[in-house]
Each structure stands twice: as structure tokens, then as C-alpha cells.
Structure 1
């Protein structure tokens, strides 16, 4: 996370039991509020697979007590989507109920179960066929400059008056640190880039972090052509393919066209929840076990 340390005041915590590391919480602080690190897409407690429920409860109680004693009034916690867990791990969902945590946001993610795939829709297959008809070529590239400068930045500025979350320098640095986990796939027509996607790859999930094509993407079928290839060939042995969220307005609305496009590949919806927890409520965790 160091690459954007200038944007956040770090408040990440390590939790030990008998000098053995049991959990960690990536976090940053603003005044009397602590956040699941705002520089990370996913958050919550990072736990080892052998940790049982009673220990998770004790860890979270001690965290809230620590915050409360240090005059931190609220913890804003974002959960990790379940597809990224190595094992079932919904302890925090239950604790949010006990703590009467306030649900402040719920995003939807469009996810394909690659071990139980649905049929790709006729619309997306038609786009794939257009890509073949136009002799499009997909290449995995070692750098991001062409996609960032020729496609991604231009599209975000034109459509949303926005910039990518990662600058070119930042995504290049992350690629250097995680060469096998961040991959760039570009689509070319007659040696000219027309589309691409940046994929964040973890053990079980391939996630399209950035997806963008030029003004001819519908005519060429470039993004359909690319993603049919990624789903059916490149990442076919993963458990899930994650298109990410189509939410806007703090989760209250969904870009219908974008959602429709993702679902055409067989994606279906899971959610990611965001909570506000009053740190003084830690006492409620004393009464869970009977």
C-alpha cells in the first residue's frame, strides 16, 4: 500500500495472542474515525484459515476496545466479497448483527462461477463473431502505457470526466511488485489498439479491474471478443471471474447497460457490504456465548 501512503494516514493494526500473529486490519484514520483502508478495494479482518469463531469474536472485541480507549468513535468496515475467501468466513457478518452496525453501503458485483457456467447470451456471442470477422488480435502485454494513454484515460475523461484510480506510474509499480497477479490484455485491429482490460489475478479469482474500448467497440465487438477469450481460455481454470461493480451514487443506483453487458457472459450478482460500527458497542460481544 506504500505507493499511495501520501493520501492516507495509516492506522493498520496487527493482533497477537501469546506473541503469535492472529489477524491484521489494514486501516487508515481521519480524526476520530478509522476506516478499512480506503486505498484498498476490499477490506475487513485478514484471518488465517485455522481461526475459530470464538477467537475471531475476541479479536474484534479487543479491536473495538482499543479504538474506544483511544477516543475513536467509529470504525467504518468494508467486507471482503466471499468469493475471495479461501474458506467459509462469515463471522464478521454475524458480529455486525450483534453490534447493531449501520449498513452504510451495499455494492453489487457481477461474477461468473467458472465451475458452473451459464450460457453466454446471443448478444455477446454476436459481438465475439464480429471480432473474428474483423480479424481482431488479442495480446497479453508487459506494460500498460498504450492502453492507459490511447484508450482508458481518454474514455474516462470523455464519459465520466474522471481518471483511472491508478495512475500509469502506480499500476506499473504494482506490476513490478506483483508480476504474476496484474496482467494486461490488449485487442488490436491491423496493429492498432482498439480495446483492453487490466486483470487482477488472485488464487481463485480473475478480476477485470479496468475495461475499455475505443469508439468502435460495438461495431468491432472488441470487448465481447476479448472477454469470451479470457473466460473460456485464459482463466478457465479459476473458480470465479469477477467483472466488479456497476454501482453509482454510493451504491444506490446501477448502470443498467453495464450490468446487462456483464450478465450476458453469465455473470450473476453477489454483494459487498460497508458498515459503520460504534466502538463503544464492544460490550455487546460479552454476551454472545451461553
Structure 2
């Protein structure tokens, strides 16, 4: 039986980690160390590397809070990352070894968040099967609104009406490298006024990430004459364009700001992507749905994809002992 060695990531592994991520079947630029570490002051990194004596076979981007390890809380998605040539039996054995080591190191819980299948190059549900075997507890389920761009997009009449208002108002869309105006005049005020919240990324953080991932993080702003009236921040990976932030001023319905912008992104800028991901419309651990926001996304032709979050008791590694026959 294959023996695996699990160890914590160190700064000496920086290049090897990023090289592995670039070859994995279920990873995006979010797992690059430069992205993971922009907020390292907020998290105790507990990323793990799995080796088989020849080389790396898997990694787990993670952080630790007391006696729990989390699929990194600073990332939108995560889980065990591996190459496409790793067979299911090996993934089971790797997870058993990893869970056993965590248990022996007095880590009682492992909390995992799925990476939605649209972000993977191949089917990648090995972990879903393993989580069933170890009797993982489903603790959260979010709904993503996703457009399959390979199919004809059934955009609703009221969205087209918004696009036409944008044309009538002579709106201008610009891709820009400076995030400051959007952040300071649109995004931050709107989030504070509507939700008493702040963006996940500060202006300094998003500008830093843009400098590290210039082709992956893109800002599209909408202007009426010379005034910024709305915009969206896109995280672009190999298969998916994802709207990380969407916001506009109070005239968005009158001008058709966001309808005009997203119609342009979907039909022009990202028409050759596999998917456009509007993200979630959920609150309270997935128990509540913002109906208006969900409807707006669906009226662009988006349909529902779920993302699950699981809690694993590490002692349950023993349930993987006699699975393979």
C-alpha cells in the first residue's frame, strides 16, 4: 500500500507549490501563494503538502483556528487539490492519511468548502464521495447563478429593456486598471449604506492583487458622460468569468447601468469562456435567499449551481480503513 507523507507548507515551498497548482485539475489562481498570502495577517496558515516519496501528489490550502483546520477561510472555494492522473483509490488513501495525521495532532475538525465543478478542468467529485464515507456534516449550501456560455443565452425581456436604456443614455464602458474611483465612490458607500458592510478586499488589497494577477483581476466601469455610475470587478480563471463585486449608483434602473454592462460582458468580452458566474445571492449560511438579486441574475439566463460546505470529524479517518475491496 502506498505510504504518504503530510507536512506543513513553508516559504521554501513557494515555487513548488505554485508549479503544482498550475498543473492541478481542480485549482485556479486563487490557490497561488501570492493570492493566499495577501491577507496572511488575518489567518494562521496551515496549508498541507502530501508527498509519496517521489514527489507531490496533493495539497490542501488551509488555515487553523485552535483545534480546527479550515479549507482556507480567505478563499471562495478550496479543498484537496490534485492532478488529473490521481485515481479515486489514491485520493481516498491520501485523505485517510491526512485526516489521521490531523487527528493525531489533536485537530478535531476539518471544515471543507467545495470548489464548484465549473472551475475544474475535469470532473472532480472524488471529495464528495469521500465526505459521504466519513459521514461529513453538511453545514452550509450556497447557490451560484451561472450562465453556460456554450449555449444560446435566454436573456429576459426586462434585461434587454435595461440594455436599451443604456444605449439611449449613451453609456460608456471602460476597462481600467485603477480601482480607486469605483471603490471609493460606488462600492464602499453602497455596501455601507445597504448592508453596513465593507468589501472583502480593501482598495490596497485589490490593487496589490491586480499587480500580481493582471490578466485575472479586471475592472469594468460604466460612465454617463464623464461620471462613473457603476461597475463590476471580474475574477477571470481558465473556464470562468466571475463577478466578484457588482455595484452602481441610485440611477442604475433609470440608466440601465448594470444590465448594459453585464450584457456587454456576457456577449462580447467573455463570450468565449465556458461559464459566467454571478456568484451567490445567499445570506445566513445559505438559509436565506435575496430573491430580487437572484431573479436579476437568472433573467440573464443564469441557472443554479450549488456549493457545499462540510465539517469532518478527523477521528472518522477510520471509516476509510476497509472501503477499498
TM-score, normalised to structure 1's length? 0.99
Secondary structure class of the residue paired with 2:305: strand
Aligned residue in 2 for 1:186 = 221
1:1-290 residue pairs with structure 2 within 5 A? Answer: 1-290=36-325
TM-aligned CA deviation for residue 50 of structure 1: 1.1
Query: Mind listing any 5+ residue stretches in structure 1 that lack a counterpart?
Result: none
Secondary structure class of the residue paired with 1:140: strand
TM-aligned CA deviation for residue 119 of structure 1: 1.1
Secondary structure class of the residue paired with 2:316: helix
TM-aligned CA deviation for residue 81 of structure 1: 0.5
C-alpha distance in structure 2 between counterparts of 1:118 and 1:5, whole Å: 40
C-alpha distance in structure 2 between counterparts of 1:117 and 1:194, whole Å: 30
C-alpha distance in structure 2 between counterparts of 1:135 and 1:118, whole Å: 24
TM-aligned CA deviation for residue 117 of structure 1: 3.2
Aligned CA RMSD, in angstroms, stands at 0.6
TM-aligned CA deviation for residue 79 of structure 1: 0.8
By relative contact order (CA 8 Å, sep 6+), the higher-ranking structure is: 1
C-alpha distance in structure 2 between counterparts of 1:216 and 1:166, whole Å: 25
TM-aligned CA deviation for residue 86 of structure 1: 0.7
TM-aligned CA deviation for residue 118 of structure 1: 3.0
Which deviations, in whole Å up to 9, do the C-alpha atoms of 1:13-62 show, x marking residues without a partner?
A: 01111231011001111111110000111110111111110111111111
Query: Mind listing any 5+ residue stretches in structure 2 that lack a counterpart?
Result: 1-35
C-alpha distance in structure 2 between counterparts of 1:117 and 1:160, whole Å: 35
Aligned structure 1 segments of 4 or more residues deviating by more than 3 angstroms = none
C-alpha distance in structure 2 between counterparts of 1:172 and 1:91, whole Å: 36
C-alpha distance in structure 1 between counterparts of 2:169 and 2:283, whole Å: 34
Aligned residues: 290
